[in-house]
Structure 1
Amino acid sequence: MTYHEIIERLYELQDADKVILKEKRFGIIANNSLGIYHKELKELAKEIGTDNKLAIQLFESGIYEARLLCSKLFNPKNITEDLMEKWVKTFENWEICDSFCMAIFAKSELALLKMLEWTERSSEFEKRAGFTIMATYCMADKKAENDLFEQFFPIIKREAHDDRLYVKKAVNWALRNIGKRNVDLNKRAIEVAKELLNFKSTSAKWIAKNALNELEKENKRMSDYPRSIYRRS
């Protein structure tokens, strides 16, 4: 499928009502949006297949859904730091931020480097990108040992004061995912959450309470990573 054929298909799928619905229901505000759901884009991506050159062309189109489609077509192994920096600066809502972070950035060799950099950024969605990578990396790297993830707790505590909605939700997401990695990290994540309860920040308290609600459940789902340690008979 060529670039022009894909653009034509996107315009065939456009739905102005969905633009309004996504804004009202999910808080997704996007420039040049056609109103296409992820499910439809995912099906289209399967038809197209991985294609880095085409993915970049789609991103450069400026069409919101073409950019979302880019995140589904680009091979994470081929991402460069320049491209990551270029793309992250365009993120305008949580949907496109998470799409790129989960599908490409967290699976790349640059994941940890950019996570450390971006969690210190002032831009709401650049900082969210850092924590989305953190949350996703917890499940993407199945072999890393606990000491790697222990290093994330000071970052979480440092940024827990940020009361911007899409930052604090991502910080909370990262804390919960670390705590669901295995039983030992679960205990540490609970300890960190209880520390956050003592912070004066209302966002830190919200992050803590929300995380504890999930991490202290008896029937919580655990991933048992790395399985070479946590699934020994």
Structure 2
Amino acid sequence: MIGPSSTAAELIAHLQALRSEENIAGMARFGIVTETALGISNPDLQKIARAAKRNHARALELWQSNVREARLLALYTAEPKKLTPDIARTWADDFDSWEIVDCAADLCVEARIEALVPEFAADDREFVRRTAFAMMAGAAVHLKQEPDETLLAWLPLIAAHAADPRNFVRKAVNWALRNIGKRNLRCHGRALALAESLAASDDRTARWIGKDAVRELTSEKVVARLERTSAAQ
């Protein structure tokens, strides 16, 4: 029975018992790296994480397993207050999948180590750079008490890397720009201005990022929500 006292080895054995070859094949169609996958869905992993509870030392052990599901479980059960920039950097060396990156980015935001954003953005490795922009996207939504200046200070990073054509980077850059722009009216104006500038770029990737962001940030639904929120404050 899985619970708070379960060891890393016991959790990994439990995961291995749930292996599904059919699910592994299905995951590959969604761009999930399956070399070490067991075919367990994220909702099922989250149920296991809730039963196992947070345990940072055990999470570190789970990460070392190199098994997809064990690493996701490590991210779900790590203790944000104990996640240091050095641990995040070490884990980033192993990033090889968008789903691991996006989960790790959420944890980094919860751990309040968003100071790593510029460092990760400057890193040329595709999935490490994606982490920076996934962190921006998450922070724009979840750090509601954070001053707008923190997020607006990231716009130059978005501009600087908008020409990176790699699929998992460009999508994350676009995601970050859209989420910052949807935060409130003040952020909306600055983000939309950047989106419009990128939309006029000679670079194909930057132009795609800009046009897609302009499309969402100027939609009636988004503008109406921001105006309602502003009026209520």
Tell me if both proteins adopt one fold, taking TM over 0.5 as the criterion.
yes
Amino acid corresponding to residue 121 of structure 2 in structure 1: T
Runs of 4+ in 1 over 6 A off after TM superposition: 221-224
- Shift in CA distance, 230/171, structure 1 to aligned 2, threshold 3 Å: farther
- Does 2:97 match 1:93? yes
User: RMSD between aligned alpha carbons?
Assistant: 1.8
Structure 2 partner of 1:40: 44
SS in 2 for 1:220: helix
Amino acid corresponding to residue 213 of structure 1 in structure 2: R
SS in 1 for 2:221: coil
- Shift in CA distance, 6/94, structure 1 to aligned 2, threshold 3 Å: same
Over residues 63-114 of structure 1, what are the superposed CA-to-partner deviations in whole Å (9 max), with x where a residue is unaligned?
1110010000001111112211110110111011111111x11112321x21
- Shift in CA distance, 223/127, structure 1 to aligned 2, threshold 3 Å: farther
Aligned with residue 125 of structure 1, among 127, 132, 155: 127
1:144 is displaced (CA, Å) by 2.1
1:209 is displaced (CA, Å) by 1.5
Structure 2 partner of 1:163: 165
Show structure 2 runs of 5+ residues with no match: 1-5
- Shift in CA distance, 72/230, structure 1 to aligned 2, threshold 3 Å: farther
Structure 2 partner of 1:21: 26
Structure 2 partner of 1:210: 212
Structure 1 partner of 2:7: 2
1:231 is displaced (CA, Å) by 4.0
Moved more, 50-59 or 142-151: 142-151
Mapping of 1:37-186 within 5 angstroms? 37-102=41-106, 104-111=107-114, 113-186=115-188
Moved more, 148-157 or 172-181: 148-157
1:223 is displaced (CA, Å) by 8.1
Amino acid corresponding to residue 147 of structure 1 in structure 2: E
Give aligned-pair identity as a percent: 31
- Shift in CA distance, 40/163, structure 1 to aligned 2, threshold 3 Å: same
Give the Cα separation in 1 of the matches to 2:99 and 2:223.
25
Give the Cα separation in 2 of the matches to 1:164 and 1:190.
23
Structure 2 partner of 1:188: 190
Q: How many residues align?
A: 226
1:147 is displaced (CA, Å) by 2.1
Amino acid corresponding to residue 83 of structure 2 in structure 1: I
- Shift in CA distance, 230/146, structure 1 to aligned 2, threshold 3 Å: farther
Give the Cα separation in 2 of the matches to 1:43 and 1:99.
15
8 Å contact from structure 1 (residues 182, 230) kept in 2: no
Give me the TM-score of the superposition, normalised by structure 2. 0.91
Amino acid corresponding to residue 96 of structure 1 in structure 2: I
8 Å contact from structure 1 (residues 50, 74) kept in 2: yes
- Shift in CA distance, 61/174, structure 1 to aligned 2, threshold 3 Å: same
Give the Cα separation in 2 of the matches to 1:5 and 1:91.
24
Give the Cα separation in 1 of the matches to 2:232 and 2:17.
49
Amino acid corresponding to residue 44 of structure 2 in structure 1: E
8 Å contact from structure 1 (residues 138, 178) kept in 2: yes
